[in-house]
Chains A and B, each alone.
Chain A
Amino acid sequence: MTSLYAPRMEDAKGRLRPFGIFFEKTLKDLIKGIRTNNTTPEKLQNFLTQALSECREEAASTDLNMKTNAVLKLTYLEMYGFDMSWANFHILEVMSSNKLQQKRVGYLAASQSFYKDPEILMLATNLMRKDLKYGGNHDVVKVGIALSGLSTIVTSSLAMDICDDLFVMLTSSRAYIRKKAIAALFKVFLQYPEALRDNFDKFVSKLEDDDTSVVSAAVSVVCELSKMNPAPFVVLSPLLYGILVSISNNWIIIRLLKLFTNLSKVEPKLRPKLLPKILELMDSTVATSVLYESINCIVKGNILDKDDYDTAMICLDRLHAFCDSSDPNLRYISCVLFYKIGKINTDFISKFDKLVFRLLNDVDVSIRSKAVELIEGIVNGNNLKNLVTTLLKQFVNEDVVLLQSDSTGIESREIPIVIPESYKVKLVHTIIRICSMDNFIHMTDFEWFNAVLWDISVLASDLPDKALGFKIGEQLRNIMVKVPSMRDSTLSTIIKVISYGNISNNLPSLLKDCFWSLGEFSNHIDNGDDLLELMINREHLYPPEIQKVIIPAILKVFTNWCNSAPNPNIERIEFILNGLLKYFESFTYSKYFDIQERAVESVELLKLVLEALKEDDEGLPLLITDVLPSLFNSYELKPISHGTQQKLQNTLTVDCQTPFLTEAEFQAILDQEESNIDDGSYSDKSLALDDEDYYENEDTRNERHSISSAFKEAETESDPFMKEEKESNPFYLADENEEKNNVADLLDFTDSKNTPESSVFISLTKHDSPQKTNESISKGEKKKKKKKSTTKVKKRVEIIPDEIVTDNELLATQQSNPNLITSNNSSSTINSYKGKINLKTNTKLANFDFFKRNDTDSLSPSNIDAEAGVEDQIELEKLRSRFGNQSLGHTQAGEGEEVIVIKKKKKSAKKKKTSRKKKNAVEEGDSAIGSL
């Protein structure tokens, strides 16, 4: 029976524990163990799994000391990636311990692990409440621990349960507690924005606390909240401004500046007030960070006006100095800010080209990459070549070795840099962009541009971004179409490109436009037969999108070649024809129907040609001399700006809203149409009629919007202009001053060209006629240079009306808005409303965080009764019912206003005000239009 009383192993260990004698592994042992077992991964793995299973046992123990120790070890292991959520219950137990040390370990483990399993927090709520109760001296620590833990693990339901306790703490006599409570409230507000709405004033009063660290915490929290929803905090701006003026703590100043950045984005009236103060701050401060934040505030807070050159220059000069600093951080952020300023108005940065050149050669590739974005702002006709050369140099050297002469160090060193491919891709994009900007406005030497394009084609063929090919091809095509005098040399570049194996293998996307250009301008080529052989004699097939283009291109080259030679070599033609037939036949079973269709059509056509060639002994058959060219030859192709057709369609749909024919006119047209059908000449006339309709349509629109008579002039002139356009090609004539014989050339090819499309879909040309007018319209936009400007201006004007139409509406709404703003600010009671209501409107805060808005919406009613203020309640309830509808997605007719609330936040605030003030119906009508 002695064994009954004999102490067991566990008992003995348990008794010794209070004296600091442990038999379990302590954290120290664990860490040491990990370090000694670090030699091989397997060994470490074994050790860790063993340690983990020990922890598992220890955590299940009833002894709280042992449990705490286990939890602490688990927390450490968690950093190695071991999941510890299975121990969440044990953590809770440790958290509820009365000993502070253990409690602290518990909360630490909770902050590391609870985020994975929000369910566990249901159990933690009561514990948290208990821990947040402040009573007595020692509790400061306890409450502090609880607050820290809470802020990491809070969820919306926990936030709701606990926010009242937190607000009580705001009035605590201890600054430490107030400060922590404020910081913890930030997380609560994110999860449960109603708390802020209902206690707005209470919270905001902490901005005026006596203790600096409390103020600091409050400013930080307001700053963070305003990032998500600045509107409710605009009311605070006088108070915040007061703090900004009086405080000398740089940390808080920086926070305030950030806060004002957020506020002035939504409240333009703040800007003139802030600007002088910020400029003053910039002058007086010595701290770089404050200086930087000041500039940042001016730029990002939309305080900097487009035409405020003085302020811009002050900022830029400071940034310029930063950009020259030896600190890469400062260079980087200044570079980013530079870009932002440049975006406001590119003129601001245009004189800083030297700086950009320097930044382009920075040691830090991320700074270079930012500088590349700046290039667009500084490029001009003079430095374009230099810039591109600089950029191209960075390409060639994979690892650029740079000389860096430190201002501190005496000798300069060479530092190898790895240039990432993404940077090179960016370079290619930039080169193309700056060269072709504003329709080649900076381009003086197209020979050189050709060389550059060839270089980047070769470079791009080694880069992973396949879209680059399209971009480069587009440039080649643009030069071909837009710069007639350069066609010969561009063609030679194109031929170089298509015969360069690496490009056709790695970057076939480039070839699409190349082939198109070859076909379109094949009359510049003497030995078309060689070219054709080059095109068709390839071991592997091109991708489908290239095949699609190459078929008509080959036809065009063939046609032009046959007709160009004075004494055609029939045998050679026959030989080539056979080659082509063989090539096209390989496509006739293509799985892409459009390729198949084109191939079959071409094969049949060429077979006919071959037959005709055999029958006809002397000279070329009519099929080659007349029929084939006629396929490609109704008019010269002209550049159209991208998306023009779509724009036209848009305007048409706008017009469709109102009938522009009276009933009688409509009837007349119908009658006419019937008679047309009787005639049997239906198609042609009715198509012509369509055109007339189109013009009529334009006219009516112009009248309707009562746009100045200039447009109508343009309208009436458009017809004669088109004829003129067809005959000669005036803007090409005007284009290049170099050669007159060019003109002759041009007139020659006007007869030999057509789109590839038209060769296939001949019937389509009729339908194109409205688009053709459009072509001429768009020319205004796209066209190059000088002389033509008289006609061009009129043409360009034609596109503008649509933009004005929309602008007018915008203007109208904008004009009505400022009035509203002033009326808002005139009465303070409304302002305080605004704070509360807006907050609710944008359950935005909730939207930003981690749980669905529906949750908070459904939660909110439970809160109503707790609120004071009967009027407020009614108001809020009304709003709530509306928002309830919103979240369900109902947009009922009567609630047009609320619909806008979702879409256009800024407007909505004002609109709401309108309704509350019972503005007349006219304005509401306005807003309805705005929402359309």
Chain B
Amino acid sequence: MAIQFILCFNKQGVVRLVRWFDICQVDSQKPQDMIVQIYRLISSRDHKHQSNFVEFSDSTKLVYKRYAGLYFVMGIDLQDEEPIYLSHIHLFVEVLDAFFGNVCELDIVFSFYRAYMVMDEMFIGGEVQEISKEVLLERLSILDRLN
């Protein structure tokens, strides 16, 4: 599996976005419990001095990054390389930023479905489908006009 899940929560651990790509992973554990564990693990880490990678279970490691008050987390396979996923996260946030125009947590809260739309345009089935920011934004603006 590529990306097992994408998760976004704030400093208090309130989930803002969540998407499970790997059903196996979800089956073994209750998703909510897992999110709580992930939150505990990540929030306990020093985000300035510690790396953005942490091993979570024997099948998953986490790549995460904090942007203002929001943590963006991806669960990936142990044998995968972390840096590329970190750049995925960064690209995702950049696209969100451009799409919403200086994105903040409230944007994601109130139009979470649009944030999911961005996610769907960028990731499909746990795989990155588009890596060009311009193409993504163009596509998103077409989709957005439908609303």
B127 touches A141 (CB 8 A): no
Chain B residue with the shortest CB-CB distance to A363 = B49
B139 touches A176 (CB 8 A): yes
Point out the residues of chain A lying under 8 angstroms from B39, CB to CB: none
Contact partner of A115 among B23, B79, B146, CB < 8 A? B23
Point out the residues of chain B lying under 8 angstroms from A145, CB to CB: 120
A57 to B15, CA, bound (A): 25
Does A105 sit within 8 A of B, measured CB to CB? Answer: yes
Distance to closest chain A CB from B5 (angstroms):
11
Q: Which DSSP category, helix, strand, loop or mixed, fits chain A's interface?
A: helix
Distance to closest chain A CB from B145 (angstroms):
10
| CB 8 Å contact bits of A330-344 with B (1 = contact, 0 = none) | 111100000000000
Does B124 sit within 8 A of A, measured CB to CB? Answer: yes
A28 to B106, CA, bound (A): 11
Q: Tell me the residues in window 115-144 of chain A with beta carbons closer than 8 Å to chain B beta carbons.
A: 115, 141, 144
A332 touches B117 (CB 8 A): no
B128 touches A112 (CB 8 A): no
A72 to B129, CA, bound (A): 25
| CB 8 Å contact bits of A66-90 with B (1 = contact, 0 = none) | 0000001001100111000000000
Does A850 sit within 8 A of B, measured CB to CB? Answer: yes
Does B17 sit within 8 A of A, measured CB to CB? Answer: yes
Contact partner of B127 among A79, A144, A186, A254, CB < 8 A? A186
B127 touches A220 (CB 8 A): yes
Contact partner of A289 among B32, B50, B83, B131, CB < 8 A? B83
B81 touches A292 (CB 8 A): yes
Contact partner of A180 among B53, B110, B129, CB < 8 A? B129
Does B66 sit within 8 A of A, measured CB to CB? Answer: no
Point out the residues of chain A lying under 8 angstroms from B1, CB to CB: 190, 224
Point out the residues of chain B lying under 8 angstroms from A404, CB to CB: 49
Does A323 sit within 8 A of B, measured CB to CB? Answer: no
Say yes or no: A415-B26 contact (C-beta < 8 A), given A141-B143, A216-B131: no
B109 touches A179 (CB 8 A): no
Does B97 sit within 8 A of A, measured CB to CB? Answer: no
Contact partner of B52 among A141, A329, A417, CB < 8 A? A329
Number of interface residues of B (CB under 8 A): 52
Distance to closest chain A CB from B22 (angstroms):
9
Contact partner of A183 among B15, B17, B82, B127, CB < 8 A? B127
Contact partner of B109 among A31, A72, A365, CB < 8 A? A31
Point out the residues of chain A lying under 8 angstroms from B51, CB to CB: 328-329, 331-333, 364, 366-367
Distance to closest chain A CB from B34 (angstroms):
11
Say yes or no: A224-B2 contact (C-beta < 8 A), given A100-B146, A849-B24: yes
A292 touches B83 (CB 8 A): yes
Does B102 sit within 8 A of A, measured CB to CB? Answer: no
Chain B residue with the shortest CB-CB distance to A251 = B131
Chain B residue with the shortest CB-CB distance to A220 = B127
Say yes or no: A224-B82 contact (C-beta < 8 A), given A213-B132, A328-B51, A415-B49: no
A850 to B114, CA, bound (A): 30
A543 to B83, CA, bound (A): 49
A220 touches B15 (CB 8 A): no
Contact partner of B147 among A101, A176, A186, CB < 8 A? A101
Point out the residues of chain B lying under 8 angstroms from A784, CB to CB: none
Distance to closest chain B CB from A183 (angstroms):
4
Distance to closest chain B CB from A58 (angstroms):
17
B20 touches A115 (CB 8 A): yes
Contact partner of B49 among A31, A221, A224, A364, CB < 8 A? A364
Distance to closest chain A CB from B91 (angstroms):
9
A141 to B145, CA, bound (A): 11
| CB 8 Å contact bits of A203-244 with B (1 = contact, 0 = none) | 000000000110011001100100100000000000000000
A112 to B116, CA, bound (A): 10
B125 touches A152 (CB 8 A): yes
Say yes or no: A221-B131 contact (C-beta < 8 A), given A100-B146, A104-B117: no
Distance to closest chain B CB from A675 (angstroms):
63
Point out the residues of chain B lying under 8 angstroms from A296, CB to CB: 81
Distance to closest chain A CB from B42 (angstroms):
12
| CB 8 Å contact bits of B11-54 with A (1 = contact, 0 = none) | 00001111111011011000010000000000000100111111
Does B73 sit within 8 A of A, measured CB to CB? Answer: no
Does A148 sit within 8 A of B, measured CB to CB? Answer: yes
Point out the residues of chain A lying under 8 angstroms from B112, CB to CB: 75-76, 79
Point out the residues of chain A lying under 8 angstroms from B147, CB to CB: 101
A328 touches B125 (CB 8 A): no
Say yes or no: A364-B50 contact (C-beta < 8 A), given A115-B20, A180-B129: yes
B113 touches A72 (CB 8 A): yes
A186 to B124, CA, bound (A): 9
Does A898 sit within 8 A of B, measured CB to CB? Answer: no
Does B68 sit within 8 A of A, measured CB to CB? Answer: no
Chain A residue with the shortest CB-CB distance to B35 = A81
Distance to closest chain A CB from B123 (angstroms):
9
Point out the residues of chain B lying under 8 angstroms from A220, CB to CB: 2, 127-129
Say yes or no: A293-B84 contact (C-beta < 8 A), given A100-B146, A179-B129, A331-B51: yes
B83 touches A101 (CB 8 A): no
Distance to closest chain B CB from A385 (angstroms):
29
A220 to B50, CA, bound (A): 29
Contact partner of B53 among A111, A221, A288, A332, CB < 8 A? A332
A79 to B21, CA, bound (A): 15
Chain B residue with the shortest CB-CB distance to A79 = B15
A250 to B135, CA, bound (A): 17
Q: Which of B18, B20, B24, B129 has the most CB of A within 10 A?
A: B129
Say yes or no: A328-B81 contact (C-beta < 8 A), given A115-B26, A147-B124: no
Q: Tell me the residues in window 87-143 of chain B with beta carbons closer than 8 Å to chain A beta carbons.
A: 87, 109-110, 112-113, 116-117, 120-121, 124-132, 135, 139, 142-143
Point out the residues of chain A lying under 8 angstroms from B132, CB to CB: 212-213
Point out the residues of chain A lying under 8 angstroms from B128, CB to CB: 220
Chain A residue with the shortest CB-CB distance to B21 = A152
B127 touches A108 (CB 8 A): no
Point out the residues of chain B lying under 8 angstroms from A365, CB to CB: 50
Distance to closest chain B CB from A762 (angstroms):
48
A363 to B49, CA, bound (A): 6
Does B86 sit within 8 A of A, measured CB to CB? Answer: yes
Contact partner of A850 among B23, B83, B139, B146, CB < 8 A? B23
Contact partner of A254 among B26, B52, B84, CB < 8 A? B84
Distance to closest chain B CB from A266 (angstroms):
15
Does A184 sit within 8 A of B, measured CB to CB? Answer: yes
A186 touches B125 (CB 8 A): yes
Does A686 sit within 8 A of B, measured CB to CB? Answer: no
B113 touches A108 (CB 8 A): yes
B18 touches A79 (CB 8 A): yes
B81 touches A293 (CB 8 A): yes
Point out the residues of chain A lying under 8 angstroms from B131, CB to CB: 213, 216, 251
Chain B residue with the shortest CB-CB distance to A213 = B130
A115 to B126, CA, bound (A): 14
Distance to closest chain B CB from A358 (angstroms):
15
Say yes or no: A112-B19 contact (C-beta < 8 A), given A176-B139, A329-B52: yes
A-B contacts, 19 listed (Cβ < 8 Å):
A28-B110, A76-B112, A79-B16, A100-B146, A147-B124, A152-B19, A152-B125, A183-B124, A217-B130, A220-B2, A227-B79, A251-B131, A254-B84, A288-B83, A293-B84, A363-B50, A365-B50, A415-B46, A850-B23
Residues of A whose CB lies within 8 Å of any CB of B are 27-28, 31, 72, 75-76, 79-81, 100-101, 104-105, 108, 111-112, 115, 141, 144-145, 147-148, 151-152, 154, 176, 179-180, 183-184, 186-187, 190, 212-213, 216-217, 220-221, 224, 227, 251, 254, 258, 288-289, 292-293, 296, 328-333, 363-367, 404, 415, 417, 849-850
A-B CB proximity, top 4 nearest: A151-B125, A332-B51, A183-B124, A328-B51
Given contacts A79-B18, A152-B19, 20 further A-B contacts (CB under 8 A): A72-B113, A104-B113, A115-B26, A152-B125, A187-B126, A213-B135, A217-B130, A220-B129, A227-B77, A254-B84, A288-B83, A293-B81, A296-B81, A328-B52, A363-B50, A366-B50, A366-B51, A367-B51, A404-B49, A850-B24
